[in-house]
């Protein structure tokens, strides 16, 4: 049997939700599905918090407030400078700092596995603390920072680009649709020179059309070198293909060039040389 008091509370919440929906429709032009499309399945308390979050976010967007990460976490003074923490204690120090940030809805992650916990701690206390952020507090809301966006690991990123995207993309039976990782002009692919992105796509898809199956088996002994705005990634590769009953195997050296474009702040592939591949 329903508690009449709880029933009244639920009805009041539903009435408030209807009011908040009307407010959002009038002020922001947001539309809501009717009950026949499933909204009746959402608990009214969850819907209420959701609607209040939208209103709070809209109000913040009109008058955004900025603060620093340090101010957002109430200016703590108990975190030691990184050079005062011995190696035996740095892991624990970073865990404590990370947990403290999480209490205020702030997360810091790193994509590159080459970033040490000492560097994460140093970066947080010396750089991230001074970084400006939106001063917005909503239930369940978090602000996520990625270390690599501040200090990219170009060696790691370019190595992954070649071995996890470019080479597998060539040795895959599906046609290539996008070539945004290549430079826009003057690309070289084995003996083909001066290619545009469309030229490159045509050559690669013509190669793919011959095979029923293509598979990139991996790369090893990969070396990545960077000299100013140029990057060189090389190593050994292996791949297999099948056309009807005919099976083929490729293996040998590969070599690639990349160039860094200041205008887009991105590395683009300009040259791909794959030993043993007639294309």
- Torsion, CA 125, CA 130, CA 134, CA 140, rounded to 10: 10
Query: For position 31, what pLDDT does the model report?
Result: 67
Looking up tokens 């680009």 gives 161
| 3-class DSSP state of 15 | helix
pLDDT at 253 (0 to 100): 98
Sheet with 246-261, edge to edge strand ranges: 192-195, 187-189, 266-274, 246-261, 230-243, 213-227
Token pair 């400006």 is found at: 132
d(CA 225, CA 231): 6
Split the chain (279 residues) into runs of 10 and give each run's mean pLDDT. 56 74 68 53 72 62 78 95 97 98 95 97 98 77 91 97 98 94 94 96 96 97 97 98 95 98 94 95
Q: What is the pLDDT of residue 268?
A: 98
* Measured CA angle at 270 (ends 262, 110), to 5 deg: 55
- Alpha-carbon distance of 92 to 174, in angstroms, equals 47
Do the beta carbons of residue 153 and residue 119 sit within 8 Å? no
How many CB atoms sit inside 10 A of residue 73's CB? 18
- Are residues 144 and 109 in contact, defined by beta-carbon separation less than 8 angstroms? yes
Domains and CATH numbers, the chain: 4-62 (no CATH), 66-150 (no CATH), 154-274 (3.10.450.50)
Pairing type for strands 266-274 and 187-189 reads parallel
Other Cβ atoms closer than 10 A to 227? 7
Question: What phi, psi does 253 have (nearest 5°)?
Answer: -90, 150
Residue with tokens 């090389």: 234
* Cα torsion 223, 226, 229, 230: sign: negative
Cα separations in angstroms, 61 against 20, 105, 198, 220, 273: 18, 19, 41, 49, 50
Alpha carbon distance 140, 13 (integer Å):
20
Question: In this predicted structure, what is the pLDDT of residue 130?
Answer: 96
Q: 118, 90 in Cβ contact below 8 A? A: yes
Is 244 within 8 Å of 212 (Cβ atoms)? yes
């Amino acid at each position: 049997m329903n508690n009449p008091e709880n029933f009244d509370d639920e009805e009041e919440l539903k009435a408030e939700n209807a009011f908040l929906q009307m407010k959002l429709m009038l002020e922001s032009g947001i539309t809501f599905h009717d009950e026949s499309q499933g909204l009746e399945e959402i608990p009214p308390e969850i819907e209420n918090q959701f609607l209040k979050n939208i209103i709070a976010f809209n109000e913040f967007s009109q008058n955004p407030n900025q603060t620093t990460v340090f101010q957002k976490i109430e200016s703590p003074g108990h975190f030691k400078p990184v050079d005062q923490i011995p190696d035996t204690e740095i892991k624990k120090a970073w865990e404590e700092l990370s947990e403290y940030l999480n209490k205020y809805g702030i997360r810091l992650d790193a994509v590159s596995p080459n970033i040490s916990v000492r560097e994460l701690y140093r970066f947080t206390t010396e750089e991230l603390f001074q970084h400006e952020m939106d001063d917005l507090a909503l239930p369940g809301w978090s602000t996520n920072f990625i270390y690599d966006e501040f200090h990219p690991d170009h060696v790691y990123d370019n190595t992954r680009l070649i071995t996890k995207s470019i080479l597998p993309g060539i040795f895959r039976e599906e046609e290539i649709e996008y070539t945004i990782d290549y430079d826009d002009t003057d690309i070289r692919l084995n003996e083909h020179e001066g290619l545009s992105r469309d030229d490159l796509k045509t050559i690669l898809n013509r190669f793919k059309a011959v095979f029923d199956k293509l598979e990139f088996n991996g790369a090893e002994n990969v070396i990545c070198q960077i000299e100013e705005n140029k990057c060189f990634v090389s190593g050994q590769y292996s791949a297999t293909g099948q056309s009807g009953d005919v099976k083929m195997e490729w293996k040998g050296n590969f070599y690639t060039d990349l160039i860094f474009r200041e205008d887009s702040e991105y590395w683009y592939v300009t040259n791909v040389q794959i030993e043993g591949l007639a294309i």
